[in-house]
Amino acid sequence: GDSVTQMEGPVTLSEEAFLTINCTYTATGYPSLFWYVQYPGEGLQLLLKATKADDKGSNKGFEATYRKETTSFHLEKGSVQVSDSAVYFCALPGYSGAGSYQLTFGKGTKLSVIP
Amino acid sequence: GAVVSQHPSWVICKSGTSVKIECRSLDFQATTMFWYRQFPKQSLMLMATSNEGSKATYEQGVEKDKFLINHASLTLSTLTVTSAHPEDSSFYICSANPSGTYNEQFFGPGTRLTVL
C-alpha cells in the first residue's frame, strides 16, 4: 500500500537558518504530493502541493520538488523565521474506494525556530 | 474559500458521558469528510471516512459503536464519542473533500477533548 516516510524530528534551528525536511513515498502510479503545516493548537493547513513529476510547489518561502526518480518531495526553506515553528506533514492521496480519496500522512516533523 | 469549522473547539466531560463534535464545510459541499485523531506525539490516525447519506467506513481497530459518525448533509458531519473514558482524551480533527474533486482535503481547526 501507499506509505510516506518523513524525517523524524524534532528539528531546532536558529532564525535565518536553512531548512530541509526529507520526505519519501511509495505509491502506485504518480499521485499528487502535499505538505501540510500545523501551528500550535490548530488544525492542518495545506502549505504547498505538486501534482506531477518535476513540479515544484511553493508557498510562504517554502519549496518542494516532486522527484519521481527518487520518489521524494523534500521541503526546503532558505531562511526560517520564528513564526515557522510548527509541525510539518508530508502526505499523498490514494483512492480508497466508493469514490473517496484518503490521505496517507508521514508522522510529522516538529520544527522549532529560536531567535 | 474552502473553510471547515469544528465545534466545539474544546470540551471537558465526565467519564461515561457522550460528546458530539460537529464538522462543517462553510462555503462548499462535501460528499466525503474524514475524521482523524491526533496523539500527543503528533501522529495523525485516520478514524473513519464519512460519506453523505451512507454509513461511515471505519479504519481497522476503531470501534464504530463508540465513535458514531453521521453525515446527514453535504455540509455537516458529526462524531459522537459515546461513554467517553479518559483514554479517549485527544485532539480530534475533521477534513472535508469538496464534491466533484479528489485529492483536496480541507481541515478543520480541531477539537480538544478531555475526559475526566
Q: Which residue has the higher pLDDT, A1 or A66?
A: A66
- The 10s digit of each residue's pLDDT in B40-57 is 777 888 999 988 888 899
Query: At residue A103, does pLDDT exceed 90?
Result: no
Q: Tell if the CB–CB gap between B93 and A36 is shorter than 8 Å.
A: no
Q: Tell if the CB–CB gap between B108 and A43 is shorter than 8 Å.
A: yes
Q: What is the mean pLDDT of chain A?
A: 91
Q: What is the CA radius of gyration of chain A?
A: 14
Of A73-77, A94-98, B66-70, B97-101, the poorest mean pLDDT is in A94-98
Residue B88 phi/psi, 5° resolution? -85, -10
* Cβ atoms B39, B51 nearer than 8 A: no
Counting every residue, how long is chain A? 115
Q: Would you state the pLDDT for residue A25?
A: 93
B107, B111, B112, B113: best to mutate for the A interface, most A CBs within 10 A: B107
* Cβ atoms A9, A109 nearer than 8 A: yes
- Looking at the complex, does the CB of residue A45 fall below 8 Å from at least one CB of chain B? yes
In A39-106, beta strands by DSSP E: 44-50, 56-59, 62-65, 75-77, 86-97, 100-105
Query: At residue A98, does pLDDT exceed 80?
Result: no
Q: Would you state the pLDDT for residue A9?
A: 85
Report strand pairing: B111-115 vs B10-13.
Answer: parallel
Q: Would you state the pLDDT for residue B103?
A: 67
Alpha helices for A1-115 (secondary structure H)? none
DSSP A67: B
Q: Three cell numbers at A90? A: 508530508
CA angle, residues A46, B46, B80, in degrees to nearest 5: 110
- Looking at the complex, does the CB of residue B3 fall below 8 Å from at least one CB of chain A? no
Average pLDDT over residues B84-113: 89
A9 residue type, one letter: G
- The 10s digit of each residue's pLDDT in B45-92 is 899 998 888 889 999 999 999 999 999 899 999 999 999 999 999 999
